Amino acid sequence: MLDAWFTVPMEGYEASTYGDRIASVYDAWYEERLDPTSAVDFLAALASGGRALELGIGTGRVAIPLKLRGVEVHGIEASESMLQQLRAKPGGADIPVTVGDFTEIPVSGPFKLIYVPFTTFFALESQEHQLRCLRGVAEHLEPHGHFVMDAFVPDVTRFTDNQSTTTVETTLGHLLVDAVRHDPLTQTIEGHHVVVEDGSVTLYPLRVRYCWPSELDVMARMAGLALEQRFAWYDRSPFEANSKRHVSVYVNRGSSADQGSTP
């Protein structure tokens, strides 16, 4: 039945799955395409003089240059394979990382800055998980500390019959296709980066539960975090109606009395 086909999640997919499967190619795919310089400038200013925590620290793409700017950076990461990549890099082994699921923020706070780059917040599988994470973020932030995320702005027009296949790269002997399906009821996208190379096919599974900035703001507010600024990118370019991504900055309101109040 079609309804059931859409509601059954990718079986066996866990918090560590994405990282475990993509770790060996992650930096080759993203390190050049995603220059962290403006993110590091932005985050270093907010963390100044305090401790920072990255949720889903991965291979340290952002954390290592942030540490080089003098910020005490900690991390949470579900995938041991991603952590191996981080630890193999100069300075990577010195970053304290807790292996676990950032839905629960399993570390001791407080932090001046908690941040989650590259749409990683959407890795949390449901609205309930995302709200729980935001509550944990508020509990682990100093009063008036900041929470920063960057993410895509959902665009459901890219799906036809709730599916999409995008050819990302074609070279002689190499094809990268993103093949995903979409469940608009749970706001979930799941599928694979598919690499066809030298006659072999490799699947890199992914699943995200997306939300619009407006939903994020309400969830953040329920958790005791207030939107302070929103940009289209870390270079502070303005967030506009046609922006594809957003960088959102929330401040810990520092008073549980505010929590759950009307926005």
| 29 vs 239, beta carbon nearer ligand SAM | 29
**Nearer Cβ to ligand SAM (26/250):** 26
CA distances from 205 to 16, 20, 33, 191, 199 (A): 11, 10, 20, 6, 20
Structure tokens at 8: 């059954």
State the minimum distance, in angstroms, from the CB of residue 245 to ligand SAM: 13
Nearer to ligand SAM, 21 or 221 (CB): 21
Among positions 87-116, residues that touch ligand SAM (CB under 6 A) are: 101-103
Is 15 an interacting residue with respect to ligand SAM (CB under 6 A)?
A: yes
Asked if 130 touches ligand SAM (CB under 6 A), the answer is no
154 is a site residue for ligand SAM (CB under 6 A): no
Q: How far is the CB of 102 from ligand SAM (least distance, A)?
A: 4
> Residues touching ligand SAM: how many (CB under 6 A)?
23
Distance CA 154, CA 19 (A): 22
Question: Is position 136 an interface residue for ligand SAM (rule: CB under 6 A)?
Answer: no
- The reply on whether position 117 binds ligand SAM by CB under 6 A is yes
Which residues lie near ligand SAM (CB under 6 A)? 15-16, 18-19, 54, 56-58, 61-62, 76-79, 82, 101-103, 117-118, 120, 123-124
